[in-house]
Amino acid sequence: MLHVSQSVLGDWNRVFDEAMRALEVPEHRGKASKITIEMVRVIVQAAEQITHSGKRLRIKGFTKDLREKEGIDLSKRKVREVLIANNLFAPETRIKRPRFYLSLRKEVPNGLLSLDGSEMVVWLDEVAYKFNVELGVDVKTFDHTSFSIGDTESSAELIKVLEAHREKWGDPVGVLFDHRSSNLSEEVREYLEGHGIEIVPAGPYNAKGNGTDEGAFSQMKQALGVIRLNLSSSRELARSVLEKLISVYIAMRNRISVRGRLLTPSEDMATPVTLEQRDLERQKLKEHNRLKIGRKGDQDKCDRLHAMLRYHGMAPEGDALKHAERSIKAYEKEAISAAEEAFLKVVDRNPEKKNLSYFFGILIRIQRERDNEAYRRYCTQRYNEEVMMRLKRQQEGTEETHSVEDIVGILVHAVKASVQFVREAALRKAQEWTQELMEAYRYVGALKNSFSEALGNLKDLTVEEKTKIWELVEQTLNPKTTEKSVTQIS
């Protein structure tokens, strides 16, 4: 009846006693130990015992056993990285692509109004009457401020909702809606600009882009259920019944506070807001829109997409093409090239698979593999037992310092890595190795020539990649530019 999952009930059972008093949970943040070679060796041996016995290695339970039996107090993430570094666990990254939709968390009531439409059906006997319900919800307070019922989603219905909202609460700072032509029509734009309201379009084909209204409609439909009247009546009767039901729902919903908040949505909407707060909110919305401007190199990716479409003779619909142009910007050029090659082979074997959906499926898989490989290299460089032993011997002076080729190789990883923290870790390691190597050279120019020769011997790099690597070499040889080095390859 409560629609609460078993996992949540189990968590409640562990953190509350019989009298519903919260139990004290031990705080371990900031108390984890530094990972040493001995700790890595113990973790690897314990993991190998589990895998050799044919059991499945579960990170949560394994981390708990290490803490209780071996006295190794590490987080699940660190234990996972040690296992990945020693080929005992498969790397898995969860980078959200494409990074087009940005979170909009507002701080003042009546700052951002979310607008969306959804189809609702009223049954009279065996006849179904379909209506479009346009709903306005305040993003900050979740107050359902206004609605309108029409035959289809149109600019007139959207303006009607805005008028009802303004009559009750005044002008919002901005409105959030999707990319439908009715929402972005000239009539709507003139209305919003005339009242000084900022336009914040949400991304198409993604419910999270306008999650406030999506959540409101979901709760509304769950509460109302199927509306079925066994009467022989006109369409206007169906409209009036639906209007009354929505009015009752909104009135009751606005009396219930959102989880984690003290005020109800209606009380929160009535909170006074200063002009300074509204101005600050307006600046945030403008900054949000500014961040959607494409980055350098995004146009090249779009050009490659169009070239591929022309080569295969594909002509997707306008909305699908726009969505593809936005999505492809979040992928690496190398992943796009590999996806094009794989897509070409697939289409040659089966022409029925020649569509954008199949291409992006290949692109997502290739990009995920590249991200996982970059994460695996990062873990190996930090927590692989052999690598750590070699570094320890270097620090003790029992092994030679790294060569110029080793440093160039790690800079290649820094340039090609798709994950920011992997690039930063590789660059820091290259700087350390370069400083160690500089002690063996009397003249920096000779070391610079060695780097130039090593870089020239690499044949599988593009001119752009070699240029970036050479810039990083000069930065590592000049400590004054170290602070800028991380941003140079981002």
What is the rounded average pLDDT of the residues 238-243? 78
**Would you state the pLDDT for residue 336?**
92
Alpha helix segments (H runs only) across 270-403: 275-290, 298-312, 318-328, 333-349, 356-383, 385-395
Which tens digit of pLDDT belongs to each residue from 430-450?
888 777 777 666 556 767 777
Cβ atoms of 411 and 461 within 8 Å: the answer is: no
Residues with Cβ within 8 Å of residue 426, at least 6 apart in sequence? 378, 381, 410, 411, 413, 414, 417
Instruction: State whether 280 and 317 are in the same domain.
Output: no
Instruction: For residue 165, tell me if it sits in a domain.
Output: yes
Residue 18 has what pLDDT?
64
User: Of the candidates 174, 172, 168, which has an alpha carbon nearest to the alpha carbon of residue 250?
Assistant: 168
Chosen domain end from 290, 319, 354? 290
Same domain, 312 and 421: no
- Do 278 and 302 have their domain in common? no
Cα→Cα distances 104→107, 271, 274, 282, 378, Å:
10, 20, 20, 12, 32
Average pLDDT over every residue of 414-426: 76
Using CA atoms, how far apart are residues 255 and 400, in angstroms rounded to an integer? Answer: 72
Same domain, 191 and 322: no
Judge whether 394 lies within some domain.
no
Asked if residue 339 has pLDDT above 90, the reply is: yes
Q: Which tokens is 302 given?
A: 């779009």
Q: Is residue 95 part of a domain?
A: no
Residue 52: give the domain boundaries: 25-85
Residue of 144, 174, 124 lying closest to 264 (CA atoms): 144
CB atoms under 10 Å from CB of 33, counted, come to 11
Whole-structure pTM value: 0.41
The least confident of 111-115, 321-325, 385-389 is 385-389
Output b/e per residue, 313-333; b: 16+ Cβ within 10 A: eeeeeeeebebbbbbbbbbbe
Triad 101, 104, 110: Cα angle to 5°: 140
Asked whether residue 102 is domain-assigned, the answer is no
* Average pLDDT score over residue span 315-335: 87
Percent of the chain exceeding pLDDT 90 equals 7
pLDDT (tens digit per residue) in 360-370 = 999 999 998 88
Note whether residue 1 is domain-resident. Answer: no
Q: What is the pLDDT of residue 31?
A: 53
Contact by Cβ (8 Å): 347, 353: yes
Given a contact cutoff of 8 angstroms between Cβ atoms, the answer to whether 46 and 59 are in contact is no
What does the DSSP assignment read for 91-104?
Answer: ------S-------
* Four-residue CA torsion sign, 55, 61, 67, 72: positive
Same structural domain, 286 and 346: no
Residue 238 located in a structural domain: yes
CATH number of the CATH domain containing 177:
3.30.420.10
Residue 39 and residue 162 in one domain = no
Number of domains making up the chain: 4
The verdict on 206 and 226 lying in the same domain is yes
Query: Which of 2 and 459 is assigned the larger pLDDT?
Result: 459
Find, among 342, 398, 338, 322, the residue nearest to 373 by Cα: 338
Considering the domain architecture, whether residues 133 and 269 belong to the same structural domain is answered as yes
Q: Where does the pLDDT of residue 490 fall: very low under 50, low under 70, confident under 90, or very high at 90 and above?
A: very low
Residue 403 DSSP code: P
Do 286 and 304 belong together in one domain? no
Are 239 and 308 found together in one domain? no
Between CA 39 and CA 81 the distance in angstroms is 13
141 and 257 in a single domain? The answer is yes
pLDDT in tens, 37-54: 888 889 988 998 888 888
The per-residue pLDDT for 100 is 40
What's the CA gap between 115 and 154, in Å, rounded?
Answer: 12
Q: What is the mean pLDDT of the chain?
A: 78
169 found inside a domain: yes
Q: Residue 487: its pLDDT value, please?
A: 42
Q: Is the pLDDT of residue 315 over 50?
A: yes
Residues near 266 by beta carbon (within 8 Å), at least 6 away in sequence: 143, 254, 255
- Residues 206 and 116 placed together within one structural domain of the fold: yes
Single out the residue in 235, 260, 290 at which a domain terminates. 290
107 in any annotated domain: no
Q: Which of 342, 362, 382 is the last residue of a domain?
A: 362
